[in-house]
Amino acid sequence: MSDHEQQLLHQIRSILKHEEQILGRQQVLLQLKQAILDEVDIGQMVDLVASDPALAANLIWRGNLVLRSWSPTKKLRSLKEALIRLGQVNIYRYAFSFYLKSNLEGLAAPYDKLAKGYWALNESIAAEAVDALEALGDSDISPDEVQTLGLFSLFGQIMTLSAASVLSRRTGETVPPAALKKIIDNHQQQLTLLALSSVGLDADLQIELLIAFDQMPATVAQSPGVVLKPILRKKGIR
């Protein structure tokens, strides 16, 4: 790695350590994190999520996306139903992924198109993972945990491009795409795990991603990471 690439990697890592530099101050997300820590009741959780109608609609949609595969005749018709079914961990994971995707619209070129491409692949991976879980038949694994894990499988790449956009606006210079691609290709797992730990997402998500990346042995025969691993391997994401 050249001195310039090493400096670029250092700058990106520094930005990744500060969530607000990438996502801004997402008030609902901050309040949601605190509400989960405070173990508020479902009524308060519904009111909090409902304060952002776009987020509320997204959580209902995400819940139904999985439910259709498992119970075609069932449908979540209210936000309260969706939040009860999802549980606190998945609520926060989905909410974070929602704001992360929304943030892609504001990225500078050429990072916006690249990040949106990674996001489309993310969605494809998540859908394949849910299908793979369904193919296993009787399983105690939560399909929402599998879907959320899939949605974070390219988290490092997307956050790195977001950080490059921040850096570009800050310096007024475009980060060379070739140098950025080299960093992503050579450090994708490390950047994903750094970004996950920096933004305070739950430890189970990080552990299952390590399993999916084949960086940690699974302690049980079936887990979300075990389901995701062959999909990432097939797509060359290791």
> Is the residue at 67 inside a domain?
no
> Is the residue at 42 inside a domain?
no
Least confident of 65-74, 131-140, 147-156, 220-229: 65-74
> Is the residue at 82 inside a domain?
no
> Is the residue at 41 inside a domain?
no
> Is the residue at 107 inside a domain?
yes
Q: pLDDT class for 237, splitting at 50, 70, 90?
A: confident
Q: Residue 238 has what pLDDT?
A: 67
Note the pTM of the prediction, 2 decimals: 0.90
> Is the residue at 137 inside a domain?
yes
Range of the domain at 205: 3-21+92-234
On the CB side of 106, CA atoms within 13 Å amount to 12
More confident residue, 21 or 152: 152
Q: Residue 79 has what pLDDT?
A: 96
| Count of domains for the chain | 1
**Average pLDDT score over the chain:** 87
On the CB side of 34, CA atoms within 13 Å amount to 8
Q: Which amino acid is at 59?
A: L
> Is the residue at 225 inside a domain?
yes
> Is the residue at 43 inside a domain?
no
Q: Over the stretch 94-121, which tens digit does the pLDDT of each residue have?
A: 999 999 999 898 898 889 999 999 999 9
